[in-house]
C-alpha cells in the first residue's frame, strides 16, 4: 500500500516479488504521466504477506473497495440497466429502478431495456395480484381502497387485513418465478388444479390452468437454447482504444435471468488481463448464482482459470467454437459491443453543453457557435400521408415548445424527399419570421447530398444562404454532408459532433414518424 505524507493510500498492488514490483516504479524513467505523479507523492510503503496469489487478489480487491485509492483500477458498474425490486414493506410492492444500492430492497435483474422490464412487471402483476399503489398500508387500520381490488387485480391488503398470510405466499411465488424456480411453482399449481377439478370447482381449476399457461409463456420468453441442467455465466468483452466493456450474463436453468455490465477507461500501463482479473474477483459479490460452466472469449480463459482457482467456482471455463454455446457467446459479444457504444453516448449526454457546441463549431467549420439547431425529417408510407417534422434544440438541449410538424403540400402522389425538405425548411423559416423567433444557427437535414442541396435552395430563396449553416446526415454510413465539399465528413463513432447530430436527426425522425402514424390512424378510422 503506497501512502502519501498524510497517510492517505494512493495505490494498492500485489506481486510475487514485491521488491521487483516496487523497484520498477522508481528505477524506470519510461512511465506515463499518471505513474510519474504517483511516484512523486509516495512517502511510505506498507506490505501485507498472504498465503497465495488468490488470497492476495481477494485482499487487494477488498482494500481497493474500502479505501478507493486514486491510482487504482476502479471498474465502473454500468448502473443504467433497469432492475425489478420488491420493497421492504408489510405488503411489498414491485417497482422498477436503475439503482441497486438500497439494501432494504430485493433486486432482480438487471434487464436489457426499460421497455422489456415494464412489460415483465405488468405480466407479473397480472399473474400475482399484489398491490400496485403507493399508499402506506398497515395491519392496524383500513386504508382507502382502489378499483384494482374490485376487479380482482389485487388481493386488497388496504381493506382485507386478514389476507396477510395469503399475500406473503403470493410474493413468494412471484419471487420464485423471478429467480427461475418456476418448475416447483407449476407443479404446486397443477396439484391445486387437480384437487379443484376432483372437487368439481371447475371455475377455480380453469383459473389455475390459465395461470400455469401464463407462467410457462413468461418463462419461455427468457429461455435460452442451452442445456437446462447447467448454470452458465457468459462473458462478452468489447474494447476500443479508450475503453473496455464487459458483459456478464447469468443463465440459470436455461433462462437468461441477469445481465451485468462493467466498463473501464484504459490507461497505458494497465493491460487488459489485469482488468479481467480484477473484475472476476469484484463480480463474486454481485453474482446471483455459482455457475457450472463459464463461456468466455479465448484470451480470457487462462486469466479466469487462474483467478477463480481457489473460489467456490469449480466448473469448466471454455471458449466454444461451434453449436449452441458458440451462438450464446457470440450474442454476449454483440451485447458488449452495443453497450460499449451506448456508454459513449451516455458520456456525451453528460458533457458540458458549452464545450459540446464549441466542438461542433470547430468540427464543422462554422462561423459561429450553433446555439439554436433545427432538425428536419420526412415520413410517409409508400408515398401516402407525407408529413415532416422540425425539432428545435437550444444550447444543446431539445426545446419541445419549438417543435413543429407539417403536412407536405407540394408533393402529393409520389414521395420526393428532396422536394419535401425544401418545402418544410422554407415553411419553418417563414414561421420564425412571422412569430418573431430567433433564426436558427444550424439546420440538420436527415438525408444525403440531394436533401442538402434542396435545403440550401430554400435558404437561397429567402436570402439566408451564408447566414444560416446547413448540414445533412445520411443514415446508412452516418456521413455528414457539408455545403461546397465533394466528399462527406466521416467522424469516429464516439465523436461528440457526430453524436449530437445523430441525436437531432433521430429526434426529428421520431417526431415525424409519430405524426405520420397518427395521420394513418385517422385515415383508417
Q: Residue 232: beta bridge partners?
A: 251, 293
What pLDDT does 234 receive? Answer: 92
Task: Note the CATH number of domain 2-72.
Answer: 3.40.1440.10
What is the average pLDDT across 159-166?
Answer: 86
| Contact present, 391 and 403 (Cβ < 8 Å) | yes
Q: Say how far residue 189 (Cα) sits from the centre of its chain.
A: 36
Over residues 333-337, mean pLDDT: 87
Q: Which residue has the cell 426499460?
A: 114
Name the residue with cell 390452468. 209
List the single range of 275-289, 340-354, 436-450, 471-485 with lowest mean pLDDT: 340-354
Are 15 and 21 spatial neighbours (Cβ–Cβ below 8 Å)?
Answer: yes
180 neighbors 255 (Cβ within 8 angstroms): yes
45-47-53 Cα angle (round to 5): 135
Mean pLDDT computed over 412-434? 89
Strands 442-446 and 469-474: parallel
SS3 of 267-306: CCCCCHHHHHHHHHHHHHHCCCCCCCEEECCHHHHHHHHH
Residue whose C-alpha is closest to residue 77's, from 47, 122, 109: 109
Residues of CATH 3.30.420.10 domain(s) within the chain?
A: 232-348
Alpha carbon 225 to chain centroid, angstroms: 24
- Are residues 396 and 372 in contact, defined by beta-carbon separation less than 8 angstroms? no
In 325-484, DSSP assigns E strands to 372-381, 384-394, 397-398, 404-407, 442-446, 469-474, 479-481
Q: What is the pLDDT of residues 260-304, one digit of tens each?
A: 888 888 776 678 888 888 888 888 767 777 888 999 999 899 989
**All cell numbers assigned to 310:** 481457489
The two beta strands, 243-252 and 94-97, are unpaired
d(CA 383, CA 420): 12
Provide the angle, in degrees to the nearest 10, between the axes of the packed helices 182-198 and 164-178. Answer: 130
Distances (CA, A) of 268 to 34, 130, 231, 425: 9, 52, 36, 48
Superfamily of domain 232-348, CATH level 4? Ribonuclease H-like superfamily/Ribonuclease H (3.30.420.10)
Strand partners, 357: none
Find residue 124's DSSP bridge partners: none
DSSP-derived 3-state class of residue 230: coil
What does the mean pLDDT of the chain come to? 84
Angle at 94 between CA 91 and CA 99, to 5 degrees: 120
Helix, strand, coil abundance in the chain, percent, nearest 5: 45, 20, 35
CA dihedral 190, 196, 202, 204 (to 10 degrees): -70
Q: How far is CA 205 from CA 189, 196, 208, 302, in A?
A: 9, 5, 5, 54
pTM: 0.53
pLDDT, tens digit, 9 for 90 and up, residues 319-331? 988 877 888 898 8
**E strand or H helix at 342, and its extent?**
helix 323-350
In this prediction, residues 102-110 reach a mean pLDDT of: 83
> How is residue 408 written as a grid cell?
407536405
pLDDT tens track for 198-249: 888 888 788 778 778 777 666 655 545 455 668 889 999 998 878 889 999 8
Beta carbons within 8 Å of 256's beta carbon, 6+ residues apart? 222, 224, 249, 250
Strand order in the sheet with 2-3: 9-11, 2-3, 44-45
CA distance 125 to 122: 5
CA atoms within 13 A on the CB side of 298: 3
Q: Which CATH number fits domain 355-524: 3.40.640.10, 3.30.420.340, 2.70.50.60, 3.30.10.20?
A: 3.30.420.340
167, pLDDT greater than 80: yes
Q: What is the DSSP string of 442-511?
A: EEEEES-HHHHHHHHHHHHHTT-BTTBEEEEEETTTTEEE-TT-SSPB---TT-HHHHHHHHHHHHHHHH
Q: What is the pLDDT of residue 327?
A: 84
Q: Which residue has the higher pLDDT, 134 or 269?
A: 134
158 Cβ contact partners less than 8 Å away, ≥ 6 residues apart: 131, 133, 135, 137, 142, 143, 144, 145, 146, 149
Whether residue 168 is predicted with pLDDT greater than 80 in this model: the reply is yes
5-38 per-position pLDDT tens digit:
888 999 988 888 888 888 888 876 666 677 788 8
Question: CATH 3.30.420.340 residue ranges in the chain?
Answer: 355-524
C-alpha cell at 91: 405488503
What's the pLDDT at 426?
Answer: 94
Domain with CATH 3.40.1440.10 in the chain: 2-72
Res 83 pLDDT > 70: yes
Q: What is the mean pLDDT of residues 78-95?
A: 84
Q: Check if the beta carbon of residue 31 is closer than 8 Å to that of residue 24.
A: no
Q: In this structure, are residues 279 and 260 in contact, taking their beta carbons and an 8 Å threshold?
A: no
pLDDT at 223: 47
Amino acid at each position: 500500500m503506497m501512502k502519501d505524507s498524510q497517510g492517505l493510500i494512493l495505490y494498492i498492488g500485489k506481486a510475487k516479488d514485491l521488491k521487483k514490483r516496487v523497484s520498477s516504479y522508481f528505477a524506470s524513467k519510461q512511465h506515463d504521466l499518471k505513474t510519474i505523479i504517483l511516484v512523486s507523492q509516495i512517502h511510505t510503503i506498507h506490505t501485507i504477506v498472504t498465503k497465495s496469489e488468490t488470497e492476495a487478489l481477494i485482499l487487494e480487491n477488498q482494500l481497493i473497495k474500502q479505501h478507493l485509492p486514486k491510482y487504482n483500477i476502479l471498474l465502473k458498474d454500468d448502473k443504467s440497466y433497469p432492475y425489478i425490486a420488491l420493497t421492504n414493506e408489510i405488503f411489498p410492492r414491485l417497482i422498477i429502478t436503475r439503482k441497486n444500492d438500497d439494501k432494504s430492497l430485493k433486486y432482480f435483474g438487471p434487464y436489457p431495456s426499460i421497455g422489456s422490464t415494464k412489460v415483465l412487471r405488468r405480466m407479473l402483476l397480472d399473474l400475482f395480484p399484489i398491490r400496485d399503489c403507493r399508499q402506506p398500508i398497515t395491519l392496524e387500520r383500513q386504508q382507502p381502497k382502489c378499483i384494482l381490488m374490485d376487479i380482482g387485480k389485487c388481493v386488497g391488503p388496504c381493506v382485507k387485513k386478514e389476507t396477510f398470510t395469503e399475500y406473503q405466499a403470493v410474493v413468494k411465488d412471484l419471487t420464485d418465478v423471478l429467480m427461475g424456480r418456476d418448475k416447483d411453482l407449476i407443479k404446486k399449481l397443477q396439484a391445486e388444479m387437480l384437487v379443484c377439478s376432483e372437487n368439481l370447482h371447475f371455475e377455480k381449476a380453469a383459473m389455475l390452468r390459465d395461470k400455469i399457461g401464463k407462467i410457462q409463456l413468461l418463462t419461455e420468453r427468457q429461455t435460452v437454447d442451452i442445456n437446462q441442467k447447467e448454470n452458465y455465466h457468459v462473458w462478452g468483452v468489447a474494447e476500443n482504444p479508450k475503453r473496455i466493456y464487459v458483459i456478464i450474463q447469468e443463465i440459470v436453468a436455461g433462462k437468461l435471468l441477469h445481465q451485468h455490465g462493467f466498463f473501464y477507461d484504459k490507461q497505458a500501463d494497465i493491460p487488459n488481463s489485469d482488468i479481467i482479473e480484477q473484475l472476476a474477483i469484484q463480480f463474486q459479490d454481485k453474482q446471483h448464482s455459482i455457475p457450472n460452466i463459464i463461456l468466455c472469449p479465448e484470451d480470457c480463459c487462462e486469466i479466469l482459470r487462474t483467478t477463480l482457482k481457489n473460489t467456490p467456482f469449480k466448473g469448466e471455463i471454455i471458449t466454444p467454437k461451434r453449436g449452441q454455446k458458440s451462438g450464446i457467446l457470440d450474442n454476449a459479444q454483440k451485447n458488449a459491443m452495443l453497450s460499449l457504444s451506448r456508454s459513449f453516448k451516455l458520456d456525451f449526454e453528460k458533457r458540458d453543453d458549452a464545450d459540446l457546441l464549441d466542438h461542433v463549431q470547430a468540427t464543422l467549420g462554422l462561423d459561429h457557435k450553433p446555439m439554436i439547431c433545427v432538425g428536419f425529417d420526412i415520413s410517409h408510407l409508400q408515398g401516402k400521408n407525407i408529413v415532416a417534422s422540425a425539432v428545435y434544440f437550444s444550447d444543446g438541449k431539445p426545446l419541445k415548445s419549438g417543435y413543429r410538424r407539417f403536412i407536405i403540400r407540394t408533393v402529393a402522389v409520389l414521395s420526393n424527399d428532396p422536394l419535401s425538405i425544401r418545402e418544410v425548411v422554407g415553411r419553418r423559416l417563414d414561421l420564425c419570421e412571422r412569430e418573431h423567433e430567433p433564426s436558427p444557427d444550424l439546420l440538420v437535414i436527415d438525408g444525403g447530398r440531394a436533401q442538402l442541396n434542396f435545403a440550401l435552395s430554400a435558404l437561397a430563396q429567402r436570402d439566408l444562404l451564408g447566414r444560416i449553416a446547413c448540414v445533412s446526415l445520411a443514415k446508412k454510413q452516418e456521413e455528414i454532408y457539408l455545403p461546397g465539399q465533394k466528399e462527406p465528413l466521416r467522424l469516429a463513432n464516439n465523436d461528440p459532433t457526430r453524436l449530437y447530430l445523430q441525436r437531432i436527426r433521430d429526434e426529428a425522425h421520431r417526431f415525424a414518424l409519430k405524426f405520420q402514424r397518427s395521420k394513418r390512424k385517422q385515415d383508417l378510422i
